A = this chain, B = another copy of it.
Amino acid sequence: MSYKIKFDRFFSYSFSLDCAIFGYKDGEIHVLLIKRAMEPYSGEWAIPGDLVYPDEDLPIAANRILTELTKLKNVELHQGQTFGNPNRHPQGRVITCAYFALVRIDDLQAEADSWAEEVMWAPMNEVPNLAFDHSEIVESTYEDLKRMLQREPICFDLLPEKFALNEMQQLYEYAYNVEMDKANFRKKIKSIPLIHLDEKQQNVKHRPAKLFKFDTERYRQMVETENYMFRM
Interface on A for B, CB 8 Å cutoff? 1, 3-5, 9-15, 38, 51-58, 79, 81-82, 84-86, 92-93, 95, 97, 114-115
Contacts and interface: CB of A to CB of B under 8 A. Distances in A.
A86 B38 contact: no
A115 B7 CA distance: 15
Given A79-B81, A79-B82, A95-B95, A13 B57 contact: no
Given A15-B15, A38-B1, A10 B51 contact: yes
Nearest to A83: B58
B86 A3 contact: no
28 contacts: A1-B38, A1-B114, A4-B53, A5-B54, A9-B54, A10-B14, A10-B53, A10-B54, A11-B92, A12-B14, A12-B54, A13-B14, A13-B15, A13-B54, A15-B93, A54-B86, A55-B86, A56-B86, A57-B85, A57-B86, A58-B84, A58-B95, A79-B81, A79-B82, A82-B97, A84-B97, A95-B95, A95-B97
B13 A53 contact: no
A166 to B, nearest CB: 27
Contacts of A5: 53-54
CB-CB nearest 8 A-B residue pairs: A58-B84, A1-B114, A1-B115, A10-B14, A82-B82, A10-B51, A11-B14, A82-B97
Contacts of A1: 38, 114-115
A84 B54 contact: no
